[in-house]
A and B are shown apart, each in its own frame.
Chain A
Amino acid sequence: MADTNPWQVVTIDEFKRPSAPTVTRVHQRWQRVLRLFSRQEIEPEEEKTNDEELPDNSEFNRKPAVTALDHYFEEWLEKKETTVCFLLDPPFSGTDDIARDWAKQKKWKLVTPPDINEIMTVDIDSWWKKQHIEGKWLIDDLSRYLVRTAEGLSFIRVLLPHILRGDFGQGLVTCDSWMFEFIQRIWRSRLPRVYCFDAAGVELLKQAGIHASDNSLLKLAARVRGNLGVAKAVWLLEKNKDRKLPALPNDADDLTGFVLYSILLHRSLSVDLLKDILSMFSSEKLNAQLLRLEQFGILQYKEDQWQIDIVAYPAVRDFLSNRDFLMDAF
């Protein structure tokens, strides 16, 4: 099974991004140079109609991924150790959904994240008691366990030793890849047993329903750095010749980077929490920045939360990389 399943679980050190053909790499660099010299103001996106909304990235079949996860962790589960494994979840890759499906199949308990009061007061004991967990468990999103403020980092610092010592038993922790890099910075040492799904290649893209030549799929995989969810969204968008991938406004500045990085780190943020995280900036400046990025299709506002638009993720990643933000490993 493992040999034919395009979904493969690997350790973080084994992860390899798909490399683009040389022509594509040269073309991408040339596009970057052209953007540097371009004086043309990038126009905000026209308002999307309902017909133009892209399907959710979760619309690919997750069963083979769940099978791959099951196969990979079989030996670990048989050992019945009280160890914990970390599964990294690049944005929009669907890894968190896959982990939830697997845990449901295994009848593991899903841990409820702490609320903001519990994070600020570092109330680990009462938070864990409320879970009523006796067997194995899944934390499906570790990025909800901290807030990047001076008061919001202590909860995760106190929680990690408990988890790593096995105080809570055997479990799987899924963590957003950007937040994981940040947590390693707080923790100041490498966390053990860190895994992820290998980069999506041609076979996986085909299995996900993306129909194109092998060469085009190779280029697509390289462009999106092996992220299946982003690949599908980009492919669907580019099928419509009238639509282009969103780009950041020419006047994107330091505050743009801070807002994007904060939202990416936490997956999504309410305005109030963003104001706490970027407390040195006025509400007016933050709101203006959020609305401008929404106009350009970089952010979307859903259920009271701001989040990065899936098709804007490559542009956002590129922008943050050029400004020396702490990048994820993907």
Chain B
Amino acid sequence: MDSEQVLGLFKKVTSGTIIEIAIVIAAAVALIWFFEKMLPWLAERLHSRRRLLVLSMIPTIRILVFIVAIIWIVPLLIEPTIQNMIAILGAAGVAIGFALKDYVSSLLAGIVAAYEMPYRPGDWIEVNGTYGEVRHIGTRVVTIVTPDDNVVFIPHLKLWTELIHNANNHDANLMCVTNFYLDPDHNPGQVYRVLEDVALSSPYINLTNPLLVLLDEKPWGTHYRIKAYPMDPRQQFQFISDLTARGKQGLRELRIKFARVSTDYTVIQNQK
């Protein structure tokens, strides 16, 4: 396609058109900026399900504003006939294929993520061993904050190839597992009751959700797990800490010995 044919696809651009395009872009940017500031602020004043609902609106609103801006601007620049669109997209496809493949792949993955919602703001996800809360879903990357307050940027491209573990899947219910490793010589019924009461007496526990105490016999001893839900996913670490500390205290009061395992997971016999 020669340059005259390419130029022929575009309409005559007047100063009025440029001003209109500039206003639309400015309005879209301002709207997106406003919602990206206002909605997280509002979400911090809410809790649990309501907080997650407000956070989930952010990427959807961004895409909607973006689409409306595109729909407004494109007809100002080109006559949106089938022939013209094929010509433009054909030329763009070559450029994308050579230079912007990964970038565009991430952009498309971001749009797919907004539709399929494998993760949303407020979700706790693990990608490639990195676990954290989704804070922002951008056009190309998703931003998560880890428990150590590190900010990690994960390209949406990972959506195509990596497993994404979502701990709460946009729900206020995030199951926490607290582990105890005990010497095999003990009364399991007693331990079961203590751990259950430790969980029921935790201020963090969501009492409307199920609570389970499970045990698993191992060669080195008995592995107990408390599976319970905190009231808010952000409380998960304090919740597990609370259960661990008070569980250990309760088990020590029963004079129950803890299994001691070395770094290569062989049993160290307890000294009597």
Q: Using a CB–CB distance below 8 Å, which chain A residues touch chain B?
A: 36-37, 148-154, 181-182, 185-186, 254, 258, 261-262, 277-280, 322-326
Name the 8 nearest CB pairs between A and B, nearest first: A326-B207, A258-B203, A150-B197, A324-B231, A150-B198, A324-B48, A323-B47, A153-B197
- Chain A residues near B49: list those with CB within 8 A: 324
A80 to B123, CA, bound (A): 57
How far is the CB of B234 from the nearest CB of chain A, in Å? 9
Q: Which residue of chain A lies nearest to B50 when distances are taken between CB atoms in the complex?
A: A322
A325 lies within 8 A of B231 (CB):
yes
Contact call A280/B246, Cβ cutoff below 8 A: yes
- Distance in angstroms from A51 CB to nearest chain B CB is 37
Q: How many Å lie between the Cα of A261 and that of B42 in the bound state?
A: 24
| Contact A153–B203 (Cβ < 8 Å) | no
Q: Is A278 a contact of B46 with CB atoms below 8 Å? A: no
Give Cα distance in the complex from A291 to B240, angstroms: 28
- Shortest CB-to-CB span from A138 to chain B, Å, is 27
Smallest distance from the beta carbon of A154 to chain B beta carbons, Å? Answer: 7
Task: List B residues at the A interface (Cβ < 8 Å).
Answer: 42, 45-50, 172, 193-194, 197-198, 200-201, 203-204, 206-208, 231-232, 235, 238, 241-242, 245-246, 250
Q: Are A150 and B45 in contact (CB under 8 A)?
A: no
Taking A148-B200, A181-B207, A254-B204 as known contacts, 6 extra A-B pairs with beta carbons closer than 8 A to each other, sorted by chain A number, are: A36-B42, A150-B197, A150-B250, A151-B250, A182-B207, A325-B207
Q: Please, which residue of chain B has its CB at the minimum distance from the CB of A325? A: B231
Query: Is A36 in contact with B208, judged by CB distance below 8 angstroms?
Result: no
> Are B208 and A326 within 8 A (Cβ)?
yes
Q: How distant is A200 from chain B, measured CB to nearest CB, in Å?
A: 27
Q: Are B45 and A36 in contact (CB under 8 A)?
A: yes
Number of A-B contacts (CB under 8 A): 62
* Separation of A280 and B193 alpha carbons in the complex (Å): 21
Given the interface pairs A150-B194, A182-B207, A279-B246, the reply to whether A322 lies near B47 with Cβ below 8 Å is: yes
Per the bound structure, the CA–CA distance linking A322 and B231 in Å amounts to: 11
Instruction: Decide if B201 touches A153 in the complex (CB within 8 Å).
Output: yes
CA–CA, A325 and B235, complex, Å: 14
Q: How far is the CB of A237 from chain B (nearest CB, A)?
A: 27
Chain A residue numbers with a CB within 8 Å of B232 are 254, 323-324
CA distance A277 to B205 in the complex (A): 13
Contacts of A148 in B (CB 8 A): 200-201
Q: Which residues from B are CB-within-8-Å of A185? A: 200, 207
Q: How far is the CB of A178 from chain B (nearest CB, A)?
A: 11
CB nearest neighbor in B for A280: B242
The reply to whether B208 and A280 contact each other, CB–CB distance below 8 Å, is: no
Instruction: Contact check, A150 vs B246: say whether CB atoms are below 8 A apart.
Output: yes
Residues in A whose Cβ lies below 8 Å from that of B231:
323-325
